[in-house]
Amino acid sequence: MTTGAVIFAHNNSLIDYIKLAIFSANRVKNYLKIPVSLVTDTWDSEWLKKTYPDHPFDQIIEIPAQRSTQQKNFYDGSLASKKLDWKNASRSQIYDLTPYDRTLVIDSDYIISSDILKSALDNSYDFQIYKNSFDLAVDRDTDEFRRINQYSIPFYWATVFIFQKNVITKSFFDLVFYIKSNWSYFRLLYNIDNTMYRNDFAFSIAIHIMNGKTDGEFAIELPGKMTYCTDTDILIEIVEDNIKILTQKKDFLGEYILTKTSGLDLHIMNKISLGRFIDGGSGV
């Protein structure tokens, strides 16, 4: 049985997701010792080969360019933001795209700093994902990451998951694709205020359905918790498995608290400051 990681990356006018994916892939290879492949569109694939000829990817999986139908505000700390294209619609195709029998899928801004996922890669569960999470800014309201709305179903993070190819997981990803294709209906059915399609929401709904709309056991929790910092926080530094973040101070806009992690995988939502750090800047 083959095992590997897949990262999706689609650039927009400001953020070089390919660059983030390269950084993330090198961390996967260092800590988890598995091959990594990239899913991107044809134009970004050419950009990768031209700009980063020494990239770490074992395979580059090209898909047709996404026609961006969504925009969102990308924050760089709490005082700066810009509305940009958000190309996140290809995740539902992972079952057909992955070259591996067992696949770890991570976002390009998920920074591996430990081997905690090794045990999950070695077991035989069909599908593993994070539900429980931890915000580095411990005094921030986290309700949006507990349920997809105040009265609805549990929230699952499509940021990181592991699956094995079989009939059950194929049914799951077919269901995610169906939900994405009929998002207007499912958004209303599950009382989601935000009109934008989000993989987290589609995965959460699909898991709910796969569980027979009860507390079933289709989705097994990954080890640890989804630890994250939002895009109102600012990355300062990554040195081996040590990360420094300025987390937004509650009720004091533009003021931050220095937070440090060690040996902890971290979802860094501020992709702009992550890109700055990769380029050799301090992140601020």
Two tokens, residue 276? 């700055």
Q: Could you tell me the pTM of the whole model?
A: 0.95
Q: Where are the domains of the chain?
A: 3-71+87-232
Give the pLDDT of the chain (284 residues) as one tens digit per residue. Answer: 899 999 999 988 899 999 999 999 999 999 999 999 999 998 888 888 999 999 999 999 999 887 666 888 999 999 999 998 888 889 999 999 999 999 999 999 999 999 999 999 999 999 999 999 999 998 898 988 999 988 889 999 999 999 999 999 999 999 999 999 999 999 999 999 888 999 999 999 999 999 998 888 999 999 999 999 999 999 999 999 999 999 999 889 899 999 999 999 999 999 999 999 999 865 55
The superfamily CATH assigns to domain 3-71+87-232 is Spore Coat Polysaccharide Biosynthesis Protein SpsA; Chain A (3.90.550.10)
- Pairwise CA distance, residues 181 & 195, whole Å: 14
| pLDDT number for residue 130 | 98
| pLDDT number for residue 193 | 87
- Pairwise CA distance, residues 49 & 42, whole Å: 11
What burial letters (b/e) apply to 32-64, b meaning 16+ CB within 10 Å?
Answer: bebbbbbbbbeebbebbeeeeeebbbbeebebe
The residues that bridge with 243 in the sheet, in sequence order, are: 238, 261
Q: Say whether 282 sits in a helix, a strand or coil.
A: coil
